[in-house]
Amino acid sequence: MFLQRMKKGLLFLGVLLMLVSCGEYQKVLKSEDIGLKYSTAEQLYNEAKEENNKSKYRKALRLLEQIVPQYRGKPQGEKVTFLFADSYYQLGDDYLAGYQFERFTQAYPNSDKIEEAAFKSAKSYYFLSPRYDLDQTETLKAITELQKYIDSYPDGENIEEANKLATDLRVKLEKKAYQIAWEYYNKGEAGLPGQNYKAAVVAFTNFLNEYPGSPFREEAFYYRFAAAYELAVNSYEFLIKERLTDAQIYYNNYIRYYKEGSPYYEQIQALNRDLESRLQNF
């Protein structure tokens, strides 16, 4: 019975303290004293960081939003601006975190927090990158920001992660470029005669030139040849020989790099035997 009363008492005390705390916070929020808001925001931010408490980050952020403009150009401005950006970062608001950290690096290039801010800005943009089949504007932005960090801090404490994130994004761009080329091939004879196969040959060629080390390289070599072969055999009679000869060049490109045992080796050999047989008829 005594323990139950004690538990109820502690629970009541906790609720009471929380209400008092909330009341005090509301007073600070409505106060005109920017010094009080600054000290309260800093205390809430430090507690949030120590406790990994999202609620306190949100409270700190509300206060910081009110005072950032007043501290711009003042000695405390650097710290206020960093806490403001980092609160967004900790709350997972990647767009505003990236933007605010970017502003911080521009405003305070000599800050001892500049490397951390540059990395967090780039990482925030990384999280904004959509899946590969959507518009990749945000991906390009993230790669640019990560590369800035990598170039500026080659020995930085986050360099390994920055390189990994940049590689992830580049592979995403490669996958999109490869998918566009493959879609042309997959459409095949749909539309104008040979149009999609011709577009596929061009797209795969551009892909191989732009991404020479891509994990999709062998597939691109194979499908470029396959598209050229299909373009040739489905052409008007007077174009077939020339296009078969062009396809043979793409076959030679493939076997220069990939030998027996490669995933597409048997398929490409079968198509090439047919190609040679057709050429002999000319």
Model confidence at 23, pLDDT cuts 50, 70, 90, reads confident
Per-residue CA distances from 18 to 11, 27, 52, 154 (Å): 11, 14, 18, 47
Residues of the chain with pLDDT > 90: what percent?
Answer: 80
- Number of other residues whose CB lies within 10 A of the CB of residue 62: 16
pLDDT of residue 21: 57
Measuring CA to CA, which residue among 95, 172, 166, 182 is closest to residue 135? 172
- Number of other residues whose CB lies within 10 A of the CB of residue 58: 14
**Buried b / exposed e across 208-235, counting CB within 10 Å, b at 16+?**
beebeebebbbbbbbbbbbbbbbbbbeb
Helix (H, G, I), strand (E, B) or coil at 133: coil
What is the residue range of 270's domain? 173-282
Residue 191 has pLDDT above 60, yes or no: no
137 occurs within a structural domain? no
Last residue of a domain, one of 59, 92, 111: 111
Number of structural domains (the chain) is: 2
- Surface-to-core class of residue 26, CB atoms within 10 Å of its CB (0-12 exposed, 13-18 middle, 19+ buried): exposed
Task: Read off the pLDDT of each residue in 142-152 and give the average, rounded to a whole number.
Answer: 97
Residue 261 has pLDDT above 90, yes or no: no
Last residue of a domain, one of 71, 89, 111: 111
pLDDT of residue 192: 59
142 occurs within a structural domain? no
Domain with 236 in it: what CATH number? 1.25.40.10
Regarding whether 177 and 107 lie in a shared domain, the answer is no
* Chain centre to alpha carbon of residue 46: 29
| pTM reported for the whole predicted model | 0.78
Lowest mean pLDDT among 62-66, 128-132, 159-163, 258-262: 258-262
User: What is the residue-averaged pLDDT of the chain?
Assistant: 90
User: What are the two backbone dihedrals, phi and then psi, of residue 181, each rounded to the nearest 5 degrees?
Assistant: -65, -45
- 191 or 173: whose pLDDT is higher? 173
267 occurs within a structural domain? yes
Question: Tens digits of per-residue pLDDT, 197-229?
Answer: 999 999 999 999 999 999 999 999 999 999 999
Residue 3 has pLDDT above 70, yes or no: no
Regarding whether 200 and 280 lie in a shared domain, the answer is yes
Give residue 147's identity as a one-letter amino acid code.
Q
Regarding whether 178 and 249 lie in a shared domain, the answer is yes
